[in-house]
Amino acid sequence: MQKKDELYRGKAKTVFHTDDENLLILEFRNDTSAFDGEKIEQLDRKGEVNNKFNHFIMNHLEQAGIKTQVNALISDTESVVKKLDMIPVECVVRNVAAGSLCRRLGVEEGLTLNPPTFEFFLKNDALHDPMINDYHIVSFGWATEDQINTMKSLTFKVNEVLTALFDQGDMILVDYKLEFGVDVDGNIVLGDEFTPDGCRLWDKETRNKMDKDRFRQGLGSVVETYIEVAGRLGLDLN
């Protein structure tokens, strides 16, 4: 497979065309950003760690019957992925109150949410990813009602699979965001990534933060903690 021109460059990943029109190369870079790009640093090995972590998680979800974009690892920092027509919304599930939910609603961090909450956000950095609802999505043509229902169902299935996985590693999956796209056959497929960059993870006993909040809050040991998270799941990245 030949890597060709750049298709898209995000805050921490770059997507490239290949000589196969149905496949892309997803490169994870060492760039680390927070607060809509206001805080940016390079963290050694972060691209490698997130690439391998994402591949591990996506394979785990595939085994649970959830279709994902990931095809194969081809280098420390690159994966081959299926080309999707991405839906410009983020699906967010919260199992425990943290982050923006606490700021918006004045609830205490650490409150267990039963049942978990679900929220949609528009993927738009310039607008700071505003919260939206089903009506916005349909009215503006971002997705159909059937696609919305499928995304919700798949997001909660991911929650069931991954809360159990992280629990086995003595971690709490606090919240996370997912992105979906449509494949060549019209199927809704999980795309983008699942890494500690896009979720909140706490140690079950100490409640220590094991995700990108370590970067946001200046707690340090970001990549080292990501490697620990992987190790607890059985993925050795040392």
The enclosing H or E element of 145 equals helix 145-168
Do 159 and 50 fall within a single domain? no
Domain's final residue, options 82, 108, 138 = 82
Q: Which of 82, 101, 136 is the last residue of a domain?
A: 82
Long-range CB pairs of 114-117 (<8 Å, 24+ gap) are: 116/156, 116/159, 117/93
CATH number at residue 182: 3.30.470.20
Is there a contact between 73 and 57 (Cβ–Cβ < 8 Å)?
A: no
Distance CA 10, CA 56 (A): 22
Report if pTM > 0.85. yes
Cβ(17)–Cβ(201) under 8 Å? Answer: no
CATH code of the domain covering residue 63: 3.30.200.20
Distance separating alpha carbons of residues 39 and 143, to the nearest angstrom: 32
What is the residue range of 18's domain?
3-82
Co-location of 92 and 70 in the same domain = no
- Same domain for 100 and 117? yes
Query: Per the domain annotation, does 174 fall within a domain?
Result: yes
Question: Are 145 and 161 contained in the same domain?
Answer: yes
- Whether 229 maps to a domain, the answer reads no
Question: Is residue 236 situated within a structural domain?
Answer: no
Domain membership flag for residue 233: no
Q: 111 and 152 share a domain?
A: yes
177 in a domain, yes or no? Answer: yes
Q: From first to last of the 238 residues of the chain, give the pLDDT tens digit.
A: 899 999 999 999 999 999 999 999 999 999 998 887 678 899 999 999 999 999 999 999 999 999 999 999 999 999 999 999 999 999 999 999 999 999 999 999 999 999 999 999 999 989 999 999 999 999 999 999 999 999 999 999 999 999 999 999 999 999 999 999 999 999 999 999 999 999 999 999 999 999 999 999 999 999 999 999 999 999 999 8
Structurally, how many domains does the chain consist of?
A: 2
DSSP-derived secondary structure for 25-68:
EEEE-SEEEETTTTEEEE-TTHHHHHHHHHHHHHHHHHHTT--B
